[in-house]
Amino acid sequence: MARGLSDPTIEIATAPGIEAGPETFWRAASISKVVTGQIARHVLDGGRDISEYLGWTLRHPLWPDQPITVVQVASHQAGLSDVGGYAVPMDTTVQRFVADTDCFGPHAPGTAFDYSNLGYVLLGCAIERATGETLSDLAERLIFAPNEIRAGFNWVGLTEDARAARLPTYRRDANGAFMPQIDAVVTAQDVPAPSALGAAQRLSPQGGLRISLMGALRLARSLRDVPRDVLWAPDMGYMETYDGAFERYGWGLQIYDDPVFYPRPLIGHFANAYGFVGGVWYDAARDVAFVMALNGRPVGEESDGFLPEEMQLFQHVATWAGQVP
């Protein structure tokens, strides 16, 4: 939690045998979408058919004549669905994966909000083909360096010392033992992409960001200055039930005027994957940035609903922020 970044308030609790600090690196899951979405805002024309950037035609099979725009993909209105999965194998292309996978839902593009991780994989691919640069290089130039953030997608660009100072993503079994799901082992160097494929899919633009608490706090603080472009709101179409987790959506940003979990407007993004739950947030009314990172959800607990621990942390931050002079 921080108003400025020179003297943040950091609270860390760990289980016996597990160590973590402000500069420990961890997989940020959907916090990654903040970075990918903001890069897309910088380099892509939101109104254009994303196929023009991808170099191949993306169409909903039930509406084959209807273009799918960049904005629709960035704001989860493209008609895409994660039901068929979104982890693109390294021995295939994203184009082939989309062709061979049941990755579309029942709604026409532009008519419904349906959260899609695959959409952000596609967005990463569009970014790279449009610019001729890798997502990791763009992230460094446009997001990380200007905000003094040490971070990298799937460890790309992070040094050996950062890789050593990592916390795996854990799940907890029935006996309370912590079982690493991600990053139990990390190579010392970046893993090169297959020559026939772009870098984006290996970088996991939807969830592969590695960052520390201090880096995430700097990312949250950077949201003070980003445009609040609303690409989707409930009056723009159908929305599946998300129990208050979504109010409005922008370029990789969840935008709230009246969140059910916090007493003031917020901008940021939640995260939930492989046992990790977290988020980066900026409270403009109090000029406060904050980060939450919870690790080790029980095996089999997959709900996207609010955890009691999350609600307690939101209340704690709300009280703290209300007292900041």
pLDDT tens-digit readout, 107-145: 999 999 999 999 999 999 999 999 999 999 999 999 999
Q: How confident is the model at residue 241 (pLDDT cuts 50, 70, 90)?
A: low
Q: Retrieve residue 214's tokens.
A: 């201090």
Q: 245 — phi, psi (to 5°)?
A: -75, -20
Q: Say how far apart CA 69 and CA 45 lie, in whole Å.
A: 9
Contact 290, 283 (CB under 8 A): yes
- Asked whether residue 235 carries a pLDDT value surpassing 50, the answer given is yes
pLDDT tens-digit readout, 102-116: 999 999 999 999 999
- As a whole number of angstroms, the longest Cα–Cα distance in the chain is 57
Contact 110, 237 (CB under 8 A): yes
Q: Retrieve residue 198's tokens.
A: 């772009």
Q: Retrieve residue 150's tokens.
A: 């040490």
Q: Say how far apart CA 111 and CA 234 lie, in whole Å.
A: 10
Sheet holding 169-172, edge to edge: 178-182, 169-172, 297-298
Three-class SS state of 117:
helix
Share of the chain above pLDDT 90, in %: 82
Those residues with Cβ within 8 angstroms of residue 174's Cβ, 6 or more apart along the chain or in another chain: 298, 299
The residues spanned by each domain of the chain are 25-323
Q: Say how far apart CA 226 and CA 281 lie, in whole Å.
A: 13
Contact 291, 216 (CB under 8 A): yes
Q: How confident is the model at residue 164 (pLDDT cuts 50, 70, 90)?
A: very high
For 25-323, give the CATH class.
Answer: alpha beta
More confident residue, 301 or 315: 315
Report, as an integer, the average pLDDT of 262-268.
Answer: 97
Q: What is the DSSP letter of 9?
A: -
